[in-house]
Copies of this chain bind each other. A is one copy, B any other.
Amino acid sequence: MQNDFIYLDHAATTPVSESVLSAMMPYFSEKFFNPSAPYFPALQVRREYEEAKNEIAKSIGAKSDELVMTAGATESINLAFSVLANFAEESNEILIASFEHHSVLEAAKKYGKIKFINVKRNGEIDLEDLKNKISSNTKLVSVMLANNETGVIQPITKIAEIIKKEQSQRVAKGDFTPIFFHSDASQGIGQLDVSVGRLGVDMLTINAGKIYGPKQTGLLWASRNIELLPQIVGGGQERGLRSGTENVPSVIGFARAITIAQKHRKKEVARLKELKDISVSILKNNFTDDELIFIGNHKKQLNSHLSISFPGIDAERIIFSLEAKGVLIATGSACAANKGTRSKTLLSMGLTDKEADGSLRISMGKLNNPENIHRAINILAEEVNKEMERIGLRSHK
Residues of A within 8 A of B (CB): 1-2, 5, 9, 12-18, 21, 28-34, 36-42, 71-75, 77-78, 101-104, 106-107, 109-110, 209, 214-216, 231-237, 243-250, 316, 319, 323, 328-331, 334-339
Contact = CB atoms under 8 A, between A and B. Distances in A.
Contact of A233 (B32, B106, B338): B106
| This chain's copy number in the assembly | 2
A331 B73 CA distance: 36
Nearest to A71: B71
B216 A250 contact: yes
Given A28-B214, A231-B232, 5 more contacts: A39-B323, A78-B233, A103-B233, A216-B247, A216-B250
Q: Give the 4 A-B residue pairs with the shortest CB-CB distance, closest first.
A: A103-B234, A71-B71, A235-B335, A74-B244
23 contacts: A1-B30, A9-B39, A12-B34, A15-B29, A17-B29, A36-B338, A37-B330, A39-B319, A39-B328, A41-B328, A42-B328, A72-B245, A74-B235, A74-B243, A74-B244, A102-B243, A103-B244, A106-B243, A107-B233, A209-B245, A216-B245, A216-B250, A231-B231
A14 B14 CA distance: 29
Contact of A249 (B39, B40, B106, B214): B214
**A interface majority secondary structure:** loop
B110 A233 contact: yes
A160 B118 CA distance: 54
A29 B21 CA distance: 8
Contacts of A18: 29
| Interface hub of A214, A215, A231, A248 (most chain B Cβ within 10 A) | A215
Given A103-B235, A319-B38, A75 B30 contact: no
Given A34-B12, A37-B334, A233-B106, A215 B74 contact: no
B36 A335 contact: yes
Contacts of A103: 233-235, 243-244
Contacts of A237: 335-336
Q: In this complex, which of A12, A214, A319 has the most chain B Cβ atoms within 10 angstroms of its Cβ?
A: A12
A37 B9 contact: yes
A163 B329 CA distance: 53
A71 B36 contact: no
Contact of A28 (B15, B29, B234, B244): B15
A74 B232 contact: yes
Given A74-B234, A231-B231, A331 B102 contact: no
A209 B328 CA distance: 34
A78 B32 CA distance: 25
A16 B36 contact: no
B5 A41 contact: yes
B2 A30 contact: yes
Contacts of A17: 29
